[in-house]
Amino acid sequence: MRESWEILTAGPPDAARSVLLLPGGAMAGRSFNLVMAEPAVSPLRLVATTLPGMAGALLSEDVSIPALARRAGELAKQNGCDVVVGFSHGATVALDMVLSGHFHGPVVLLGISPDDSG
């Protein structure tokens, strides 16, 4: 995986559930800081990422939704994530992860605006 994926983690490495957090648009993984600090989710392993080209993250060669979904699926697998939560643009990526078969598991889509232009 290219270095363009910024990663933040919280929670025990051996948690029963591991959640990949995908932020929206120009947002960084650190936009989930308040969620990651919430005591109610402390038993979970949380993996927040900044998508390539967003919030100052390095731009990779392809930032199309299908390419991001494929690479986010790889990231989920590498980090043992069995749940994905996506917000806005991250929700669009998460939806494509499922539809394209790059992720199999529970997905939470927040603030998604799917359209037929993709």
Domain definitions of the chain by residue range: 1-52+80-113
Averaged pLDDT, 73-98: 95
How far, in Å, CA of 61 to CA of 106, rounded? 29
Question: Minimum mean pLDDT among 51-60, 62-71, 91-100: which range?
Answer: 51-60
CB-based contact 75:105 (threshold 8 Å): no
What class is the 1-52+80-113 domain? Answer: alpha beta
Lowest mean per-residue pLDDT among 18-27, 68-77, 109-118: 109-118
**pLDDT at residue 66 in the model:** 95
pLDDT digits over 7-63, tens only? Answer: 899 999 999 999 999 998 888 888 899 999 999 999 999 999 988 766 666 676 788
pLDDT at res. 52:
76
* CA 83/CA 88 separation, integer angstroms: 17
Token pair of 46 as six digits: 């949380």
CA 114 to chain centre: 17
pLDDT bin (cut points 50, 70, 90) of residue 1 is very low
Tell me what pLDDT residue 56 has: 65
Contact 71, 7 (CB under 8 A): no
Predicted local distance difference test score (pLDDT) of residue 2: 44
